[in-house]
Structure formats: structure tokens, C-alpha cells
Amino acid sequence: MKKILLINGPNLNRLGKREPAHYGTATLDDLETELKKSAQSMDSELVCFQSNHEGEIIDKLHWAEDQNMDGIIMNPGAFTHYSYAIRDAVAGIDVPLIEVHISNIHARESFRHVSVIAPAAAGQIAGLGVHGYELALQALLKIIKGRV
């Protein structure tokens, strides 16, 4: 059984309430519940974590390697665009990570177009709503199994 860590960054605890035109009406609990079901159906275990604090996210990335997690799905929220500390943490661990964004960051305000984290990630999925998380899970499991 593969162990996957899901990290959601700042403001994602407000899913379903915050800017539903961009992020939809599903709550974080809805997202986590559905993704856990998907993970189980793919013989995987999903551990969920959300924080609004950069240092806690960095600590969790380090924890993932220390706990021998097989992969990470992360939506870093606004940290995407400027957190070199999170980028360095991603680059400094030996765990494949896929960056996910619910909205298409490349079709929004110009400050959202750049991800400082993407170059350290195995891949990025953006603009497909919460379905992007399931696609990230599928891709991550293929990466882990050496099929990508």
C-alpha cells in the first residue's frame, strides 16, 4: 500500500466559502473524503494536512520524507508565487510531489502566473477544479511505480 500525503496551504480551509467562482463549492472536508476513497480504491493510504503557516508546511514536507511517504500532492495556495523556503524544502526531499491548483493560475492575475515551486515538483496540474487532485493522485501513483 502506497502512502500519499496531501498538503493544502493557506486559505484552503475556506474552500466552499471563499470565492466560489474560482474555487467551487466543495469544502476541504468534501475534497479530502472523496480523495481518501479514491486512494483506497487504488490501494493507497492518504494522509491529509492543511496549514495557513509556511513553517508548518515545511515541517510537514520534511516529515513526509522522515516517515517514508511514497508521494505528496500539494496545493501551496499563494505560497506558490513567492515561497522559496517551501520550494527549497520540496527540492531537499526525496519524495515525488505534484503541485495542484483548483483554478488556472496562468489565466488569472499576472502575479499568479509564476510558480517558484513547480521547477522542484514532478509536475503541476492547474485549472481543473477539485478533479485536479484525483488526476494528481493517479499521476503520482504512476510516477511511484515508474510508469511515467
Coil, helix or strand at residue 101: strand
Active site residue 23: yes
Model confidence at 55, in pLDDT bands (50, 70, 90)?
very high
Look at the chain and report how many structural domains it folds into.
Answer: 1
**Is a pLDDT exceeding 80 seen at residue 23?**
no
Among the listed residues 22, 23, 62, 113, the single catalytic one is: 23
For residues 32 and 127, the answer to whether their CB atoms sit within 8 Å is no
Range of the domain at 114: 2-144
- 100: domain CATH number? 3.40.50.9100
**CA of residue 116 relative to chain centroid, distance:** 14
- State what percent of residues in the chain have pLDDT above 70: 94
Instruction: Mark whether 101 is an active-site residue.
Output: yes
- Per-residue model confidence (pLDDT) at position 60: 99
Q: Which of 62, 101, 106, 113 is catalytic?
A: 101
